[in-house]
Structure 1
């Protein structure tokens, strides 16, 4: 993340740390619980098979607890982040008016500044959840099925080494897209039909290019998942594993792949955030 993005995020976090801490404690609790789900579910399956119903029912209690935590987080999130965004909008508008920025750019930057708040409300919890899920699933696989764990590590390492090129392409696309978005109001007020049509056609081309980039990332992860599940099935087929163990391995593997599936979208959000922060970070007031 570039200097402007880091500065903007750090400033918002520092000025609202008490509000943010409450939401992220709930995110942490949710993720610890989700990491334990497959292991507890595998244990519960074996208890069901052996007829120990009361012990198996403990899994249902864990499931309920997860939903209670999720409901509490969603309720608190909206209250916290709606307030922070409202304050940020006012500061951006007042700062831009002092610099005599035209209405087109002020309007666009107010809309774009929403992404800075979305980082805390959506992207940072998703990043945290994705990281915990990937690391947690990998560690659990390494413990309960080492061959699958090692295969997972090799695959993740290969994907990691190819991230830089993906990020650079995203950065270029979001820079060009946001340049177009800042001109929306000006185009509406000053251009004829042909000029307006050309503006929105170019905007749509950038959005399509971003979407295509995301789709390519999903496809690559899908191929990785195919290979990884193949390794797991071959490994488990050669053993005399019980149903609970098979379920735990396959669920941790599925959690790992689903979490990796979030990576292309997260990288795009961060590229967007870097460009937006370079445009609006200087408008974040010290008294936000």
Structure 2
């Protein structure tokens, strides 16, 4: 991961700067909505204008970031793809084709998932900080749930990696299975791939279900605590909205962790075929 970031440092610096600005805007939404509510209740429109200005600024930053990302990462994929195929002369066509698709997964992670992950992490940190200032019991409840979520996914990390390894082993045989023209061989290959995919999906569903139980308990507690300790309607609304943001982040971030485990396994396959400096996720992360 570090090697790829170092090689394309300039492009990453630009895109990540825009991601941080966009994330900062989204963090402030509940707070500004709460201020707008209290402003209207006090017969003032100032809060509405402040919220409108924040929404427009955040939207413009988000649009510019997406325009920059699509062009920057397209160049990265083309360059790394040429290096990988040119430097992997010993592997057969099936393996090289599969690895080219895997390389695309890594680039797409940086283009789509990494900005969303950074957004979620910044949002999570900002949300917890603001909740600490607004309502300490809710803040402590969020910390307890965060520890429970981290523990859950740490315990299942090795199993996720093993399932991804089995899936990728089978994926590298795909072109040969198609090229063979043998319906039986192709059917067996597709069934094998789907078995690994089902195992990954079942594990993800189980983790998500358990995590959602944690989040449901937090939401119920937060609504009760906010209503009991806060008098202003806008402040209560802001607290509940921030808890929703926290829940959204804590449900989404583990999915990025699972994706990172998959990319770490993929990077081991791509190392040594001409793009070591660009895709060694596991060795340098």
The whole-number CA distance in structure 1 between the counterparts of 2:226 and 2:50 is: 27
Farther-moved stretch of structure 1 (131-140 vs 59-68): 131-140
Question: Cα distance 1:144–1:33, how it changes in 2: closer, same or farther (>3 A)?
Answer: same
- Preserved CA contact (<8 Å) 2:211 2:251: yes
TM-score under structure 2 normalisation? 0.92
Q: Which residue matches 2:158? A: 168
The whole-number CA distance in structure 2 between the counterparts of 1:238 and 1:180 is: 56
Could you list the per-position Cα deviations for residues 31-82 of structure 1 after superposition, in whole angstroms to 9, with x for gaps in the alignment? 1121122111111110011111144221011011111010000000000000
CA RMSD of aligned residues (A): 1.7
Q: Which residue matches 1:52? A: 44
TM-score under structure 1 normalisation? 0.91
Aligned with residue 244 of structure 2, among 254, 263, 270: 254
Question: Cα distance 1:217–1:133, how it changes in 2: closer, same or farther (>3 A)?
Answer: farther
Aligned with residue 284 of structure 1, among 232, 256, 275: 275
The whole-number CA distance in structure 2 between the counterparts of 1:14 and 1:138 is: 31
Q: Which residue matches 1:269? A: 259
Which structure carries more relative contact order (alpha carbon 8 Å, separation 6+)?
1
Question: Cα distance 1:108–1:244, how it changes in 2: closer, same or farther (>3 A)?
Answer: same
Q: Is there any run of 5+ residues in structure 1 with no aligned partner, and where? A: 1-8
Tell me how far 1:129 sits from its aligned partner: 1.5
- Alignment coverage as a number of residue pairs: 278
Could you list the per-position Cα deviations for residues 136-191 of structure 1 after superposition, in whole angstroms to 9, with x for gaps in the alignment? 11121111011111011111112222322221111011000000110001111226
Farther-moved stretch of structure 1 (69-78 vs 267-276): 267-276
**Which residues of 2 match residues 105-254 of structure 1 at below 5 A?**
105-190=95-180, 192-239=182-229, 241-254=231-244
Aligned with residue 72 of structure 2, among 75, 80, 98: 80
The whole-number CA distance in structure 1 between the counterparts of 2:227 and 2:112 is: 40
Tell me how far 1:287 sits from its aligned partner: 9.6
The whole-number CA distance in structure 2 between the counterparts of 1:43 and 1:70 is: 23
| Runs of 4+ off more than 4 Å | 285-288
- Preserved CA contact (<8 Å) 1:147 1:235: yes
Q: Which residue matches 2:26? A: 34
Question: Cα distance 1:128–1:286, how it changes in 2: closer, same or farther (>3 A)?
Answer: closer
Aligned with residue 70 of structure 1, among 59, 62, 65: 62
